[in-house]
Chain A
Amino acid sequence: GEDVEQSLFLSVREGDSSVINCTYTDSSSTYLYWYKQEPGAGLQLLTYIFSNMDMKQDQRLTVLLNKKDKHLSLRIADTQTGDSAIYFCADLGHGSSNTGKLIFGQGTTLQVKP
């Protein structure tokens, strides 16, 4: 079945840029998503990218998609302590585009040091 992989941990200093990486196996992926999880809270959708795009920018967030290598990244500019959280990459495959079944990675914990 489809799989999504992420590195587990990233530590940056406040004000630096953070880059969180994700790889996926589904060659028929339609949308790819980034979710943020803070302690005690639900998953919050940060941004998403359609599979025929290679870049999307939304304020401090930049998503890059390399469809050939099945690689997705999330860049957070000017990282703040409030960005400390777990970030999940998720894939909506073509076969799931009618049902919305998301395949999630295991999450990357971002630690922002003051």
Chain B
Amino acid sequence: GAGVSQSPRYKVTKRGQDVALRCDPISGHVSLYWYRQALGQGPEFLTYFNYEAQQDKSGLPNDRFSAERPEGSISTLTIQRTEQRDSAMYRCASSRGTGVETQYFGPGTRLLVL
């Protein structure tokens, strides 16, 4: 596609529910990143995929957070048993290669946990 797309753009959920956030990277981009951005803060790294392989998940805050990219394209970030502290903007980025290649960011999914 023309850019990175994410869906939904906004998600309101009740505490304890599971949510799934989707990222559709730029076609042909091998690397995909998930970041979380709290209000008034910069993005914070969550996890990184090279094709379908999750090569770095050091930023996932706990085991309620998981991500997958089964066919090396679309990725899903899943948060189980959501808590109010999970409320944030979740941003996805993709890049043509690894490492120093430019990361192109999507518009983000704003998650609000009530």
Contacts and interface: CB of A to CB of B under 8 A. Distances in A.
Interface of A: 4, 30-31, 35, 40-45, 48, 88, 90, 92, 96-107
Contact of A106 (B40, B48, B91): B40
Contacts of B35: 102, 104
A100 B105 contact: no
Given A43-B91, A45-B102, A99-B99, A106 B55 contact: no
A104 B46 CA distance: 12
Nearest to B48: A99
A107 B107 contact: no
A103 B45 contact: yes
A102 B45 CA distance: 7
Contacts of B56: 99, 101
B42 A100 contact: no
Contacts of B103: 45, 100, 102
Contacts of B4: 42
A85 to B, nearest CB: 14
Contacts, number: 69
Contacts of B43: 43, 88, 102, 104
B98 interface: yes
B100 A42 contact: no
Nearest to A105: B42
A104 B104 CA distance: 15
A42 B56 CA distance: 23
Contacts of A96: 99
Nearest to A42: B105
Contacts of B55: 99
Q: Which of B35, B43, B48, B108 counts the most chain A CB atoms within 10 A?
A: B43
A100 B98 contact: yes
B44 interface: yes
B101 interface: yes
Given A88-B42, A99-B56, A107-B41, 4 more contacts: A43-B43, A48-B102, A100-B100, A102-B35
Contacts of A106: 40-42
Nearest to B110: A40
